[in-house]
A and B are shown apart, each in its own frame.
Chain A
Amino acid sequence: MEMQQIKFYQTGTFTVGNRLLDETQRSVQANLQRTNSLNSGHRACQGCGEALGARYAIDAAMRAANNQVIACNATGCLEVFSTPYPETSWQIPWIHSLFGNAAAVATGVMAAMKVKGRNDVRVIAQGGDGGTTDIGFGCLSGMFERNDDVLYICYDNQAYMNTGVQRSSATPPAARTATTLPLGPEPGAVFGQGKNVPEIAMAHGIPYVATASVAYLRDLEEKVSRAMTARGARYIHILVPCPLGWGAAPHDTIKLARLAVETGLFPLFEAEHGEVTHSTPIRHRLPVEEYLKPQKRFAHLFGKQPAVDTIARIQAQADRNIRKYRLIDERRHG
């Protein structure tokens, strides 16, 4: 899509009001006719990043697919808070089977649509980080390697929140969870563990991989829309802060999602067929403390004697991401 040049009438902000944009370029969420695929009235916690992420992503997918979308959900918060009957929030055909099989169920739905000649119907699989990077990883990798025509969306809140905040393979180092308590010589989750599923997805050579954040609505919607233009296996990994699990204020969800990006801890990028094609530059680079401090899961790093070594190791990770994904625009900052 060609981007419209706009003038900023407000200073000190990067927010672009929709009213400044051409109708066709306004966000899906700004449109009163949006589908509200995940409707209001569900039981998510106040400030739930996953509820936002799912609504943004599925509404964008619905627009891109002319409302012909079927979703397959892994077990987890999203499934639980959206469905206690008769209060389903889903305005689209939706199935939940098990914790570890959302990608495979989606393959099955896709196969059924294909055999029935319904190529207009698009299939989305979705789950949290536990259902994606851990227990559902086998099915996910299988769906990728077969290049099945499925968009898989991972809503990553970096732990098993539904069961009470236990560590997953997406939990960052030093983070406190119920199974990585801030005790012993290396408090919280240990360094050198965990997996980078967007990169593993890229290693499958699938047509499209992207990371996104609920703090960057337009970027997120754009990536979902782009994913829907491609056929084959696609993967979008969305960072969704969890006030409960992260020990953060519900009103800080968007702020934390933005800080994760601005510190370099959560790089935003796109990749096609295994190669990075675009990364979103960091506009105000911030030290990792800014992101870590408001979260109780990192509180043990900021006690009477701050864990400067640990914070430095986290900063080094952010620096590595910035180098690797070229997150600082050299022309502007160099």
Chain B
Amino acid sequence: MLKQTEGSHAIAESVALCRPEVICAYPITPQTHIVEGLGEMVKSGELKDCEFINVESEFAALSVAIGASAAGARTYTATASQGLLFMAEAVYNAAGLGLPIVMTIGNRAIGAPINIWNDHTDSMSMRDAGWIQLYAETNQEAADLHIQAFRLAEDLSMPVMVCVDGFILTHAYERIDVPTQAQVDAYLPRFEPRQVLDPKEPVSIGAMVGPEAFMEVRYLAHHKQMRALELIPRLSQEFQNVFGRDSGGLIRSYRAEDAKTIVVALGSVNGTIKDVIDELRDEGCAIGLATIVSFRPFPSDELHEVLSHAKRLVVIEKSLAVGIGGIVSHNLRMALSGISLHAYTVVAGLGGRAITKASLRSLFERALRDELEPLTFLDLNQAAVNRELEREQAQRRSGPSAENILRDLAGGGRSAL
């Protein structure tokens, strides 16, 4: 059914249609509306046979989810930013135990400095924790990916993160096609756990494993993700058959077939990028886009194919690997074997800085002329940075940088841009 709704609420409705049995909630902006929505549905009786638990921290949220999933319940939680870091130990544990928990990340920056706005630093920090990571481009896709995520998680017995850009998606009202219960039931079978805590058949889960078997257990996790490379496109195709919509998959390309310059990005920024590509295409530039939906497992082969004829690669990253640059770019190198091209890493939109069409257009134009540095910080106020560096040079006790820069900007430093 088509409706005008908030992204978070669409996700909540979508998750509810998956018949979750245990939901753990802890508030953190910008994911809060999702669990609020689910809480309301449980309280009103709209979502039946579901335990909704308000916990005392994100660490507890995922720990409760671990217990519930190990006891055979379909389990969901959501978090963001500091919350994801606070539960980090449990993030690795859920994956190590092979528990098919689905968790939404309302992508948000990591402090300090504290910042509630969108970037991908949070989920990127957990990219190697053993979870599948799917990134939504639109709210429709965010809603759809959750349905696919439960199927994927349970097929593989492996947890899945659905990453949704905070505010840009979570708080945006859009037209969403919310599926029917019958459609979801047709797509998502009952949860049959591979391992379960049951007094009838006692098992020990989470035992100490020594050097004789640890490598094998870790390898199996990798093997499962390699299987996911085949499963994700298949589930996306099945989804299309049931719901009549193209959502998910490993990657999506846009006007990339004959493109000499290819942009790669994750999440909601792809919409803006497509608009800019359309403009540049109208002007005769051979530029296209590859959108990564599945960052874990990383679709190296699919990206290799899209990039094989390109001369230039521009990676737009909403996260910064401090001291080296881009995370996505680095991962992409695995897909570039045998391809000779100019690769540019662009760190953009950190802490919610708007990634505008104008900025992207000017960036792509510079890329097309090969005038970009290997690592670019889009719309960085270099003058403000330089003034802080000068203050640090001038006196030992220059004070906290974040506060200095804010004071500087408030005092009219902005005009120096």
Closest to A69 in B: B199
Residues in chain A near residue B66, CB distance under 8 A = 97, 101, 105, 108
Q: Is B51 an interface residue (CB 8 A)?
A: yes
Residues in chain A near residue B70, CB distance under 8 A = 95, 105, 108-109
A105–B63 touching, CB < 8 Å: yes
Residues in chain A near residue B73, CB distance under 8 A = 108, 111-112, 115-116
Q: Is A262 an interface residue (CB 8 A)?
A: no
| Alpha-carbon distance A277/B42, docked complex (angstroms) | 38
Residues in chain B near residue A233, CB distance under 8 A = none
The listed residue (A83, A106, A138) touching B204 by CB distance below 8 A is A83
B202–A139 touching, CB < 8 Å: no
Which of A84-92, A190-198, A285-293, A303-311 lines the interface with chain B? A84-92
Task: Decide yes or no: A101 and B90 within 8 Å by CB, A93-B197, A116-B73, A142-B55 being known contacts.
Answer: yes
Interchain nearest-CB distance for B129 vs A (Å): 14
Most buried by B among A67, A69, A94, A105: A105
Closest to A117 in B: B49
Residues in chain A near residue B22, CB distance under 8 A = 108, 111-112, 115
A108–B199 touching, CB < 8 Å: no
Residues in chain A near residue B54, CB distance under 8 A = 146
Within 8 A of A (CB), among B1-60: 21-22, 24, 49-51, 53-57, 59-60
Within 8 A of B (CB), among A64-79: 67-70, 72-73, 79
| Alpha-carbon distance A16/B203, docked complex (angstroms) | 37
Residues in chain A near residue B75, CB distance under 8 A = 108, 112
Interchain nearest-CB distance for B150 vs A (Å): 16
Residues in chain A near residue B198, CB distance under 8 A = 93
Within 8 A of B (CB), among A90-124: 90-98, 100-101, 104-116, 121
Q: Is A80 an interface residue (CB 8 A)?
A: yes
Q: Is A141 an interface residue (CB 8 A)?
A: yes
A139–B63 touching, CB < 8 Å: yes
Interchain nearest-CB distance for B21 vs A (Å): 5
The listed residue (B93, B201, B202, B209) touching A85 by CB distance below 8 A is B209
Within 8 A of A (CB), among B192-236: 197-199, 201-210, 213
Residues in chain A near residue B203, CB distance under 8 A = 93-94
Closest to B53 in A: A111
Count of chain B residues with Cβ under 8 Å from any Cβ of A? 43
B209–A70 touching, CB < 8 Å: no
The contact string, 1 if C-beta is below 8 Å from chain B, for chain A 117-158, is 000010000000000000000110110011000000000000
| Alpha-carbon distance A98/B70, docked complex (angstroms) | 14
Majority SS of interface residues in chain A? mixed
Task: Decide yes or no: A88 and B204 within 8 Å by CB, A97-B90, A108-B69 being known contacts.
Answer: yes
The listed residue (A83, A84, A93, A95) touching B199 by CB distance below 8 A is A93
Task: Decide yes or no: A109 and B205 within 8 Å by CB, A98-B90, A115-B21 being known contacts.
Answer: no
Residues in chain B near residue A114, CB distance under 8 A = 51
A108–B59 touching, CB < 8 Å: no
Interchain nearest-CB distance for A23 vs B (Å): 25
Within 8 A of A (CB), among B55-83: 55-57, 59-60, 63-73, 75
Residues in chain A near residue B199, CB distance under 8 A = 67-70, 92-93, 121
A104–B209 touching, CB < 8 Å: no
Interchain nearest-CB distance for A84 vs B (Å): 5
A101–B60 touching, CB < 8 Å: yes
Residues in chain A near residue B67, CB distance under 8 A = 72, 95, 97, 104-112
| Alpha-carbon distance A116/B54, docked complex (angstroms) | 19
The listed residue (B21, B56, B89, B202) touching A112 by CB distance below 8 A is B21
Residues in chain A near residue B68, CB distance under 8 A = 108-109, 111-112
Q: Is B363 an interface residue (CB 8 A)?
A: no
List residues of B whose CB falls within 8 A of some A CB.
21-22, 24, 49-51, 53-57, 59-60, 63-73, 75, 89-90, 93, 97, 197-199, 201-210, 213
A sample of 13 inter-chain contacts (CB < 8 A) reads A83-B208, A90-B204, A93-B201, A94-B203, A94-B204, A96-B207, A104-B60, A104-B64, A108-B67, A114-B51, A121-B199, A139-B57, A146-B54
Beyond contacts A100-B89, A106-B67, A114-B51: 17 other A-B pairs, Cβ-Cβ < 8 A, are A83-B208, A90-B202, A92-B199, A94-B202, A94-B203, A95-B67, A96-B206, A98-B90, A107-B53, A108-B67, A108-B75, A111-B64, A112-B67, A115-B21, A115-B50, A116-B21, A139-B57
